[in-house]
Amino acid sequence: MRSFSLPDFVRTHRRTLIVIVGIALIPLIYAGSLIWSNEDPTHRLDHINAAIVNSDQAATPATTSDGEPAEAVDLGATLTEKLVDSTESNNFSWHEMSAEEAQSELESGKVLAVLDIPEGFSAAAVSAGGDNPLDAAIARLSITTNDGANIIVGNIASTVGTTVADELAAEVSDEYLRNVYVGFTDIHESVSEAADGATELNDGAEQARTGSGELVVGLSQLREGGLTLADGSATLADGASQVDAGVQQLNTGLATANSGAQELSTGAATANAGAQQLNTGAATANTGAQELSAKLAEASSGAQALSAGAASANSGAQQLSAGLAELNAQTSALPTKLSELSTGVSAVSGGATALSEGATTLATGSRTVADGAESLSTGADQAYAGAQQLSTGATELASGTSQLSSGLDSLLANYDSLTDEQRKQTLGELAAGGQTLDSGAGTLSASAATLAGDEAQGTGLAGLQAGIAQVASGATSAADGADTLQAKSSELATGAGQAADGVSTLSDKLDELVTAVSTASTGATDLASGTQSLADGASTLASGTQQLSTGASTLATGTQALADGTSTLATGTQSLADGASSLATGRQTLADGASTLAQSTPKLASGASDLSSGATTLADGTADAESGGTELNEGITQLADGSRTLADGLDDGVADIPSYTDAQADHLAGVTSAPVEITKTRLNEVPAYGYGLAPYFMTLGLWVGALAFYLMFPPLRERLVLGRQPAIVVAVRSFAPGALLGAVQSLLMLTIVRFGLGLEPADMLGLVALALLTSVTFVAVNQAFNALLGPPGRFLALIMIVLQLSSAGGTYPVETAPAFFQLIHSWLPLNYAVTAFRSLVAGGSIGIGEAYGMLTVWLVAALTLTTLSIVLKRRRHRLTPARPEAVGARELAPSI
């Protein structure tokens, strides 16, 4: 037994091993080729040519994001440059062309997509930022593909176009939103300014609120001061009324005293018994007159001090008139001046006391006393009339202050609810109240003038002084009743001192009253005039006091003459005694009146004090009201500035914020939501994906049909091969059965595809014709492989299937396949048939002419190879002896 030898086995079974290896490699060849050809077509799109047509022109935006002058935008040129310069493998290879050139290239299949950038594309892209929202337009691109070249490319081109449109839309939206956000920034700045203005407005309102609060507090204090002033004025009026009653009683008493003095004069004329005593009294009177002269000198000095104080008061009033701002300083200085005034009045009172002492010394009497008493009575009557006027003025003052207080109460209670007109009316009523106060003060001033009197006319206190002078000059005719007159004179001096005290107090309070009323009614000018009159009156008083002093000197001279008239005095002594009784009665009446006057004086002082306190409160309230009013004014000013800033900021913000109608908003929203659109156009568009793959599958079916025929039938008819007919005739006659069956296959396939599957080719007749040519060509090729190579030829036909499937570009364009498949694509017949079938199914003319030409070449080449195989077979047959049985067996093979 021989041992196994691998080389001998291989050598013996070489053909069998080759067949086994070939069959084993078929799955690998099919799977490997198909996977390799479709390994990564989407990253080889840069091998597909595409055209870009740019008809766009540059456009200038209406606004810019930074407020600088707008620059022209040329999106068409930018997009073209970006696509042409792109080196990305998942993008087409773009080439800029004219519209005519691009259309021609697309129809011929040299480019598989055309992107058109129309005229006005950039203008439409930037139109959303224009002034008129209705002018905003969508920027539109268009991409065109040819389903007759490749349906998958149409889908890819649509995706690429959508991507381009989305990128452009993002760029346009980015620019639009940038402008929007810049607008927000501008609005933010304007609103920030408005917020600052609102802050200032709030601060001003707060300050105004504080000022108004202080104003209300000041007005409240002003009201309280007015109430106090009204109460004091009422008290003053009551006191003045009581003073008036006392003065009336005093007047009655003085009248009675006058009557008694008349009787005393008559009695003194007949009294001569006491002439010696009168002589002695005259000497004493002379001494008293000397002392009276000295005291009146002191009174004159006090009157001078009074005049100086009145001048100081007048100066203070002038300063008050110059400005309310110095009111407190002048008011603080006024008590000092009034103190000086009080000193002067005290000096006057001291002089009156000295006068009383002198009158005591003068008690020896003088008949002329009666005449002086009469003049004194007349002056008292005028003083009474002045007191009445003073009472009337005080009443009017009380009424005015009450009206002022009522107005202030009303203003404070209803201030927030009153209108501006009502506030003006209330303030007018307050002004009327102030005028009433002014009138009352004028009446008081007139009453004071009346009380002072006039020296030339002999009225008032001036007339009283003249009467006293007459009493001094007529002292030579005094009666023996001087002792009784001495007692009355003493009591009279006491009453005069009390009256002087009351007058001093009244003067003090009247000054305070005038000051308060002047402050309340802001009548600083009237006050200045009154103080001027006061100063003049004080000067007149000083002059009168000087005259009184002179009269006292005359009195001293007259007392010397008194001794000479003692005889006449003795004669009237009895009459003086009779009149003494009447004088006593009058003195009692005078005492009663003085008592009433004394009782009323404290009330008058209390009222004046209340009036002073109210005036002080009123001044403080007025100051607070003035301060609050100032703050209120400043707050309102700041409020106005803040309001203006707020208004300006809001105006700027409103100017920066666009306003759209519903139609404009809808239109602008539609444009900005999709600022760029792409229109996708397919030349020779097919309705379904199957239309794009049908050419691929139909050509594959025809090839497999031809392969199957020669799996079942021999490629040549042996009887004809061994015959004497030309080899070309034998080849054609052997080809005829397969060609006939191939034609049947193609017709049957097209019939089912058209009517069974519903596929409607664009050129049915052209498809039938090309299918017939393709079918017979595939039959001829398979016949040639089998006739020339035998079984290996069938194996080669199987290999041809996978090579043609991998390089045909049945799904993705062949440009996306590896270079090897692109190389063999141009040489294999199925690939041309697939391209031509696409055009005939979808429309167009891509590859139809090339397919007819290449298939015809392959048909002729296949028949030539079949003829060659016949020639070779005949040559081998002549070289090999024939065996009859073999010939008989070959004749039994299937034939047509």
Tell me, yes or no, whether 241 lies in a domain. Answer: no
Neighbouring C-beta atoms of residue 441, cutoff 10 Å: 25
State the DSSP string of 794-806: HHHHHHHHHHHHH
Task: Indicate whether 6 and 85 sit together in one domain.
Answer: no
Task: Indicate whether 540 and 398 sit together in one domain.
Answer: yes
**What's the mean pLDDT in 190-200?**
68
> Would you say 855 and 774 are in contact if contact means Cβ atoms under 8 Å apart?
yes
pLDDT for position 359: 46
Task: Indicate whether 703 and 673 sit together in one domain.
Answer: no
What SS3 class is residue 96? strand
State the DSSP string of 129-163: GSS-GGG---EEEEEEEETTT-HHHHHHHHHHHHH
Task: Indicate whether 722 and 669 sit together in one domain.
Answer: no
Among 225-239, 416-430, 525-539, 690-704, the range with the most confident prediction by mean pLDDT is 690-704
Position with higher pLDDT, 264 vs 322: 322
Residue that terminates a domain, selected from 503, 536, 571: 571
What SS3 class is residue 330? helix
C-alpha 329/C-alpha 741 separation (Å) is 140
Amino acid of residue 111: V
pLDDT for position 57: 86
Which bin fits 137, alpha (ψ -120 to 50), beta or left (φ > 0)? beta
Any idea which residue has 């007349």 for tokens? 378
What SS3 class is residue 53? strand
What SS3 class is residue 94? strand
**By CB neighbour count within 10 A (0-12 exposed, 13-18 middle, 19+ buried), where does 522 fall?**
middle
Task: Indicate whether 17 and 134 sit together in one domain.
Answer: no
Residue that terminates a domain, selected from 571, 594, 609: 571
Amino acid of residue 99: A
**What's the mean pLDDT in 802-812?**
86
pLDDT for position 566: 44
For strands 139-146 and 676-683, give the pairing.
Answer: parallel
Stated as kind and residue range, the H or E segment containing 117 is: strand 113-117
pLDDT for position 523: 53
Which residues make Cβ contacts (< 8 Å) with residue 585, sequence separation at least 6? Answer: 256, 260
C-alpha 5/C-alpha 619 separation (Å) is 145
pLDDT for position 414: 66
Tell me: pLDDT of 576 over 60. Answer: no
Residue 886 CA: distances (Å) to CA of 725, 879, 890, 893: 21, 15, 6, 11
Tell me, yes or no, whether 502 lies in a domain. Answer: yes
Task: Indicate whether 27 and 48 sit together in one domain.
Answer: no
**What's the mean pLDDT in 847-867?**
96
CA-atom Rg of the chain in angstroms? 72
Tell me, yes or no, whether 846 lies in a domain. Answer: yes
Domain limits for position 288: 274-359+370-414+462-571
Task: Indicate whether 827 and 746 sit together in one domain.
Answer: yes
Closest CA to 654 of 665, 646, 662: 646
> Would you say 507 and 381 are in contact if contact means Cβ atoms under 8 Å apart?
no
pLDDT bin (cut points 50, 70, 90) of residue 425 is confident
Task: Indicate whether 312 and 348 sit together in one domain.
Answer: yes
pLDDT for position 517: 43
Phi and psi at residue 50, in whole multiples of 5°? -140, 150
> Would you say 558 and 367 are in contact if contact means Cβ atoms under 8 Å apart?
no
Task: Indicate whether 398 and 544 sit together in one domain.
Answer: yes
Closest CA to 469 of 380, 371, 540: 371
Give the single-character DSSP code of 120. Answer: T
Task: For the chain, give the mean pLDDT.
Answer: 70
Write out the two tokens for 529: 């005039």
**What's the mean pLDDT in 701-725?**
91
Tell me, yes or no, whether 695 lies in a domain. Answer: yes
Q: Which residues pair with 702 in a beta bridge?
A: none
Tell me, yes or no, whether 602 lies in a domain. Answer: no
Tell me, yes or no, whether 176 lies in a domain. Answer: yes
C-alpha 261/C-alpha 264 separation (Å) is 5
Beta strands across the sheet bearing 113-117: 93-96, 49-54, 113-117, 139-146, 676-683
pLDDT bin (cut points 50, 70, 90) of residue 887 is very low
Position with higher pLDDT, 33 vs 310: 33
In the chain, the number of structural domains is 4
Tell me: pLDDT of 437 over 60. Answer: no
> Would you say 146 and 107 are in contact if contact means Cβ atoms under 8 Å apart?
yes
Residue that terminates a domain, selected from 648, 683, 718: 683
Q: Which residues pair with 49 in a beta bridge?
A: 93
**Cα dihedral angle (830, 836, 842, 844), rounded to 10 degrees?**
160
Task: Indicate whether 169 and 108 sit together in one domain.
Answer: yes
> Would you say 466 and 550 are in contact if contact means Cβ atoms under 8 Å apart?
no
Task: Indicate whether 27 and 136 sit together in one domain.
Answer: no
pLDDT for position 19: 72
Position with higher pLDDT, 600 vs 380: 600
pLDDT for position 601: 61
pLDDT tens readout for residues 636-675:
777 677 767 766 766 666 555 565 565 555 555 555 555 6
Position with higher pLDDT, 889 vs 344: 344
pLDDT for position 364: 53
Task: Indicate whether 181 and 309 sit together in one domain.
Answer: no
Q: Could you tell me how far CA 159 lies from the centroid of its own chain?
A: 50
C-alpha 441/C-alpha 445 separation (Å) is 6
Position with higher pLDDT, 305 vs 775: 775
Residues of the chain with pLDDT > 90, as a percent, come to 19
pLDDT tens readout for residues 107-136:
888 898 999 999 988 887 777 655 556 556
pLDDT for position 732: 95
Tell me, yes or no, whether 477 lies in a domain. Answer: yes
Tell me: pLDDT of 159 over 70. Answer: yes
Helix orientation angle between 727-751 and 848-879, rounded to the nearest 10 degrees: 140
pLDDT for position 731: 94
Which residues make Cβ contacts (< 8 Å) with residue 92, sequence separation at least 6? Answer: 45, 46, 48, 49, 50, 83, 112, 113, 157, 160
pLDDT for position 387: 47
C-alpha 82/C-alpha 449 separation (Å) is 111
Closest CA to 88 of 160, 166, 165, 168: 160
pLDDT for position 704: 95
Tell me, yes or no, whether 455 lies in a domain. Answer: no
Domain CATH code at residue 88: 3.40.1710
**By CB neighbour count within 10 A (0-12 exposed, 13-18 middle, 19+ buried), where does 3 fall?**
exposed
C-alpha 500/C-alpha 344 separation (Å) is 11
pLDDT tens readout for residues 340-388:
545 654 654 565 465 456 545 545 544 554 455 455 456 545 655 654 6
Q: In this predicted structure, which of 12-21, 690-699, 737-746 has the lowest mean pLDDT?
A: 12-21
Helix orientation angle between 573-656 and 482-520, rounded to the nearest 10 degrees: 10
How crowded is the C-beta side of 240, counted as CA atoms within 13 Å?
29
Tell me: pLDDT of 308 over 80. Answer: no
Amino acid of residue 447: S
**What's the mean pLDDT in 779-787?**
96
C-alpha 70/C-alpha 61 separation (Å) is 6
pLDDT for position 479: 45
Tell me: pLDDT of 150 over 80. Answer: no
**What's the mean pLDDT in 601-628?**
67
What SS3 class is residue 78? helix
